[in-house]
Amino acid sequence: MTTIELYNTEINKEIAKPEIQKALLATTFKGLNLQTMKQAMIEGMMRGFVFKDFLEKNVYAIPFKDSYSLITSIDYARKIAMKSGLAGKSAPTYTFDKDGKIETCSVTVKRNVDGYVGEYTATIYFGEYSTGRNLWLSKPKTMIAKVAEMHALRAGFPEEMAKQYVEEEVEKEVLKETVDEKYLTEINTIKTISELKTYYLANKGRGKAFDKAVIIKKQALQNENI
């Protein structure tokens, strides 16, 4: 039996009960289906996580494009770094533009390897990650500091942290791939292709996911007229 087959057997055993599947899909794997959830679990196990890590949200998955993105919590990343020689972390430092808005954030982590302490600094541009919504609006320093710290941890601990990301790093890209429920509701109420065209022209520029939703609706309307 291959490693992937072993992981799949373990996963099927752990989530055999429908109520467990339902709970996981409503929390740790919200927005995914059962098949994609299993794929995310297998990938996580291949990276060294165990089933308990998913339950404790040390690792979880969020919808991204046509699949998912596997996410690590910043607390878990810190635990891994501590086990691998983390010798300290600087307080985040910020630069600001002429209007007093955050421009960059820098964080330095230290790693002790056989008595030698190396420093690894990451400087992150706020505009590349901020969604301008929710906590990015109310706690911008906290949010960008997490991103900078995770970048620094990956630089200092490449073997342990490769391909591990926190949600704050991908949130902006994920947002581009989703459609606001308001627009989905409006699209679903449209009855003719002519109305759909007018609606699209009035709202175009809302991203690939919005365009895709309009195309799907157009196809559905065309099928109704066949």
Q: Cα–Cα distance between 209 and 16 in angstroms, integer?
A: 33
Q: Cα–Cα distance between 85 and 71 in angstroms, integer?
A: 22
Following CA atoms 49, 53, 59, 63 in sequence, which dihedral angle do they give, to the nearest 10 degrees?
A: 100
pLDDT at residue number 178: 63
pLDDT at residue number 24: 92
Domain ranges of the chain: 3-72, 76-167, 181-224
pLDDT at residue number 187: 84
User: If you average pLDDT over residues 198-222, what whole number do you get?
Assistant: 79
Q: 92-146, pLDDT tens digit by residue?
A: 999 999 999 999 999 999 999 999 999 999 999 999 999 888 899 999 999 999 9
pLDDT at residue number 163: 82
Q: 154-183, pLDDT tens digit by residue?
A: 999 999 888 889 999 988 887 666 666 677
pLDDT at residue number 67: 82
Give residue for tokens 């949200």.
57
pLDDT at residue number 89: 96
pTM: 0.74
pLDDT at residue number 165: 92
Selected residue with higher pLDDT from 2 and 152: 152
- Distances in whole angstroms, Cα of residue 34 to Cα of each of 13, 19, 38: 14, 12, 6
Q: Do 107 and 121 meet the contact criterion of CB atoms below 8 Å apart?
A: yes
- Using the predicted structure, report yes or no on whether residue 226 has a pLDDT greater than 60: no
Following CA atoms 35, 40, 46, 52 in sequence, which dihedral angle do they give, to the nearest 10 degrees?
A: -100
pLDDT at residue number 53: 92
pLDDT at residue number 93: 98
- Using the predicted structure, report yes or no on whether residue 14 has a pLDDT greater than 70: yes
Q: 24-78, pLDDT tens digit by residue?
A: 998 889 888 999 999 999 999 998 899 999 988 899 998 887 788 899 999 999 9
pLDDT at residue number 221: 80
Among candidate residues 147, 182, 179, 180, the one with its CA nearest the CA of residue 165: 147
pLDDT at residue number 106: 98
Report the 10 Å Cβ neighbour count for 68.
Answer: 21
Exposed, middle or buried: residue 57 (CB in 10 Å: 0-12, 13-18, 19+)?
middle
**Both tokens assigned to 184:** 């989905």
- Distances in whole angstroms, Cα of residue 75 to Cα of each of 6, 24, 80: 29, 21, 9
pLDDT at residue number 118: 96
